[in-house]
Amino acid sequence: MSFRSAIGPLMACCALITFGQVAGAQSKVGIINLQKAVLESAEIKAASAAMENRYKPKVARLEQLNKDIAAIGENLQKNSGKLTPQAEAQMQADGQRKQRDAQRMQEDLQAELDRERQEILGRSSQKMQDVVKQVADAKGLDVVIDVPYAVYFKAALDITSDVIAAYDKAHPAAAPPAAK
């Protein structure tokens, strides 16, 4: 009886292994680096360049404010003991005010950039998923796995470049606005 009870689970394991190999042979798998596909699409590159141009004046103002803060610090250090107490206090107050302004400006700028980036990536990610499905259907793939979730894969399974090309064709980047 103990021999029989040991054979049952062994047979079940053999059947599962055999079934797994048969089922695996029938499935076609593709691998994609979804992050790379989204970030390297022409639409995202154009949106990123447009966003950079839009925020360039704010970044320049922030950089100038940081230079002013550094200049105040250098001036205070260089003229230590030469300034009147009132002038020194005024310079320190100006430096602290500018530091607060710079901090606030930095936080506001970062929040704006993050919000806009998330909106752009959200729209593009949904469109990218649709394109991945179309490419998978065209290639007859049953499953597409994102690179971070694959322990190992052969390069021949990677469909990232095909998806980028299909995405760029389906969603061409908007032409940049004409220079004024």
H/E element holding 31? strand 29-32
Give the Å distances, CA to CA, from 126 to 38, 130, 132, 160: 10, 7, 10, 16
Secondary structure (DSSP) of 41-79 = SHHHHHHHHHHHHHHHHHHHHHHHHHHHHHHHHHHHHHT
C-alpha radius of gyration, the chain, whole number: 30
CA dist 13 and 26 (Å) reads: 20
Q: Which domains does the chain have, with CATH numbers?
A: 2-170 (3.30.910.20)
Query: Side chain identity at 127, as an amino acid letter?
Result: K
pTM exceeds 0.85 for this model: no
List alpha helices for the chain, DSSP H: 2-26, 34-39, 42-78, 85-139, 160-170
Closest CA to 31 of 167, 133, 157: 157
CA dist 43 and 130 (Å) reads: 15
Closest CA to 173 of 141, 127, 134: 127
Residue 149 is predicted with a pLDDT of 92
**How does pLDDT run along the chain (180 residues), one tens digit per residue?**
444 444 444 444 443 454 455 454 578 999 999 999 999 999 999 999 999 999 999 999 999 999 999 999 998 888 887 888 898 889 899 999 999 999 999 999 999 999 999 998 888 988 999 999 999 999 999 999 999 999 999 999 999 999 999 999 998 877 555 444
Closest CA to 68 of 28, 39, 97, 42: 97
